[in-house]
Amino acid sequence: MDTSSAPGRSGHWFLSQDTDSARLPVALLSGFLGSGKTTLVNTLLRDPRMAGTAVAVNEFGEVPLDRDLIAHDRDHTVVMANGCLCCNLAGDMEDAVMRLFSRRQSGGLPAFERLLIEPSGLSDPAPIAQAILRNPLLARSMRLEAIVCTVDALFAATQLARHPETRKQVALADTLVLTKTDLAAPEVVRRLRADLAGLNPAAPVLTAVQGEVDAAALFPPRFLDRTATAPDTAPRSFLAADEADAGHTARYASASLLAESPLDWRAFEAWLRRIRIAHAENLLRVKGLLNVAGGPVVVQGVHHVISAPVRLDTWPSIDMRSRLVLIADRATIEAARESWAEALPGLLARP
């Protein structure tokens, strides 16, 4: 029997919590060129709580300068070159991570507790996230805990207007980190915060002070401590995104879809499949903590790619309602809300 998964009480197959806890926690650190990603990585790696972190760097250009700029154990650093194209980015990342795990298992590298991936500033982080969720070998060994995006307070307004990659990086993030705010006028920072809220109304915005941000504020608890007893099943930005909205001019919106009674997994899965097929390109993020047959089940996805569901042993809070949070363009959010309201009676488990 494959012990990587266990049957749920509903008769369907889910990853067990023990299997999920054994997977390596992974965070993506995106952000446009010059936005301070490498500076943030360096400050994070000086934090004792980040000891044992492996770093995968994806850079644009022939000379791997960022590897020299990251003051970390070079044996823990994997450099992925020429990752400016999304199709190459995901494949290169998969190869690099496989090499990293192979060297770790063979004893060529010390054991590491988590993986921090820094893609190129010209990259869309979605293919990397999708690879972690979709690739059977990666999904078996790793769990995506967070997507963080650095935003340059001086130049972000121009970058957001000119570069779709920057808008995508912001929209996909669980948490945004403003850098260089000490160099930008207060009014510029205020307008930028409004722009960011329009692109990603669910994401909290942190401010880096001389490149430093508290790791505990930046990452979920299970990224810093993979054995955390109270699983942080969804980024705080998602569970706090209850109908978050930045006004009618916002490019993206989020919605929290609720169910008071337990769901039938097969019916829910079919509903989510219909939403994914109809809105694959516009549905940026999916994150949910669902009540299936009375037990908590975690789901997450990027675009049309959904990871294997994970059944938890216990509820992380006393709230046992099903909560599914979506981030997408406004038209997709409205369509999903209407579809959920119409389909919900048929999604509930029979007594």
Q: Which of 202, 224, 246 represents a domain boundary (last residue)?
A: 224
Task: Read off φ and ψ for residue 304, nearest 5 degrees.
Answer: -90, 0
- In a domain? residue 182: yes
Q: Which of 174, 204, 224 represents a domain boundary (last residue)?
A: 224
What's the Cα-to-Cα distance from 92 to each of 23, 89, 97, 103, rounded to whole Å?
21, 5, 9, 17
Q: Are residues 220 and 239 in the same domain?
A: no
202-219 core/surface letters (b: 16 or more CB in 10 A; e: else): bbbbbebeebebebeebb
Task: Read off φ and ψ for residue 15, nearest 5 degrees.
Answer: -65, 140
Q: Are residues 275 and 338 in the same domain?
A: yes
Q: What is the pTM of this model?
A: 0.76
3-state class (DSSP) for residue 225: coil
pLDDT digits (tens, 9 = 90+) for 274-326: 999 999 778 888 888 899 987 899 888 888 888 888 888 888 888 899 999 88
Q: Are residues 155 and 283 in the same domain?
A: no
Confidence at residue 11, expressed as pLDDT on a 0 to 100 scale: 46
- In a domain? residue 165: yes
- 271 or 20: which leads in pLDDT: 271
Q: Are residues 218 and 247 in the same domain?
A: no
Q: Are residues 136 and 240 in the same domain?
A: no
Q: Are residues 169 and 206 in the same domain?
A: yes
Burial of 171 (0-12, 13-18, 19+ CB in 10 A): buried
Q: Are residues 111 and 173 in the same domain?
A: yes
What's the Cα-to-Cα distance from 201 to each of 87, 143, 269, rounded to whole Å?
28, 24, 26
CATH assignment at residue 88: 3.40.50.300
- In a domain? residue 8: no
Give the number of domains in the chain.
2
**Low-confidence winner among 53-62, 162-171, 181-190, 267-276 (lowest mean pLDDT):** 53-62
CATH assignment at residue 303: 3.30.1220.10
* Average pLDDT value over all residues in the chain: 78
- In a domain? residue 46: yes
Q: Are residues 252 and 319 in the same domain?
A: yes
CA-to-CA distance for 127 and 111, rounded, in angstroms? 26
316, 296 Cβ separation under 8 angstroms: yes
- In a domain? residue 4: no
Q: Are residues 206 and 249 in the same domain?
A: no
Q: Are residues 121 and 249 in the same domain?
A: no
Q: Are residues 273 and 300 in the same domain?
A: yes
Half-sphere exposure of 323 (CA within 13 A, CB side): 22
- 192 or 222: which leads in pLDDT: 192
Domain residues for 326?
233-347
* Contacts of residue 92, Cβ cutoff 8 Å, sequence gap at least 6: 58, 80, 81, 82, 83
Confidence at residue 7, expressed as pLDDT on a 0 to 100 scale: 39
